[in-house]
A and B are shown apart, each in its own frame.
Chain A
Amino acid sequence: MSEAIHIDRQLDAKGMLCPMPVISVKRAIKDLQRGQVLAVSATDKGACRDIPAWAEQTGHTLLSQAEENGVYTFYIEKAGWEDEE
């Protein structure tokens, strides 16, 4: 967590309430290449469970999650399969 993770895209989901954070993450990750990292910040308290659940379902890797002053930050690495887009 202390090593700097290179962020390829930042998503500000602060102020969004379920289901918008997860929908926004899904949209944002589409534009990334395999191996790139998306940083998401959210204030929705449900997000701290929703986003890891999203990652588990979609197969992308949740690198880390942290909370500071009511803002949750997630780092997600896009996984990829050659047989897909």
Chain B
Amino acid sequence: MTTQAKPEQSDIPGNIEQLIEQRVQSLVAERLDALVKERVAQAMKRDPAKRKVAIIASKGTLDMAYVPLILATTAAAMDADARIFFTFYGLNILKKGGPEKLQIAPIANPAMPVPVPNILGMLPGMTPMATWMMKGMFAKHNVVSVPELLHQAIELGVKLIACQMTLEVMGIRREDLIDGIEFGGAAMFLNFATGAHTTLFI
């Protein structure tokens, strides 16, 4: 009878242990659930495909040199794998001493900040003047120069790829271009672009 009368007493230690275990299990499950959700959300934000940015740079004027470089450096600053494929006149940006020589012509450029009638724009000296004015405008607003931007891009790990075919067609040698660039063709670029969410043609 004593053994009968004591079942709760002998159960209590066992019960407490069970209770503790149950409580711990449920706390762990809850915390784990929240942790996993948090990590998955973070991982989704860092989706690999989102982090590839493919840019084609096909223009060689001063204004159009900025666009691919600014986009690529910003993408790299946002942890993306940014690659610029330089083709046609875009190769001017990659030439040794090239960025400093980029120009902008006022002729047939109705979007210029200071409109210049075409008949004036075609006079000798107008293109260098327009270039000088635009560079001055950028400097006044503390906009980074193209050579500096190119340097930043390389430092941030932006991959610069020169179109091999354009090089040959335009008679540009590899030695004429700056160091640290790769060479490739359309297929190589498209291979990268297919895996990228963001592909831009400039």
Contacts and interface: CB of A to CB of B under 8 A. Distances in A.
Nearest to B149: A19
B78 A58 contact: yes
A64 to B, nearest CB: 20
A18 interface: yes
Interface in A42-85: 50, 53-54, 56-59, 79, 81
A16 B45 contact: no
A61 to B, nearest CB: 10
A29 B74 CA distance: 15
The range of chain B's interface size is: 10 to 19
Given A25-B77, A54-B78, A59 B144 contact: no
Contacts of A34: none
A16 to B, nearest CB: 7
B148 to A, nearest CB: 10
Among A17, A23, A54, A81, the one with the most B-chain Cβ atoms within 10 Å of its Cβ is: A23
Contacts of A35: none
B79 A57 contact: yes
A22 B74 contact: yes
B80 interface: yes
A75 B105 CA distance: 43
B77 A59 contact: no
Nearest to B43: A81
Contacts of B73: 19, 23
Contacts of B78: 22, 26, 53-54, 57-58
A22 B144 CA distance: 13
A50 B73 CA distance: 13
B74 A56 contact: no
A59 B46 contact: yes
Given A23-B152, A59-B45, A79-B42, A15 B77 contact: no
Interface of B: 42, 45-46, 50, 70, 73-74, 76-80, 141-144, 152, 156
12 contacts: A17-B143, A19-B70, A19-B74, A19-B144, A23-B73, A23-B156, A26-B79, A53-B78, A54-B77, A57-B78, A57-B79, A59-B42
Given A17-B142, A23-B152, 12 more contacts: A17-B143, A19-B73, A19-B74, A19-B144, A23-B73, A25-B77, A26-B78, A53-B78, A54-B78, A59-B45, A79-B42, A81-B42
Report the 8 A-B pairs with minimum CB-CB distance, sorted nearest first: A26-B77, A57-B78, A19-B74, A23-B77, A22-B77, A58-B79, A19-B70, A59-B45
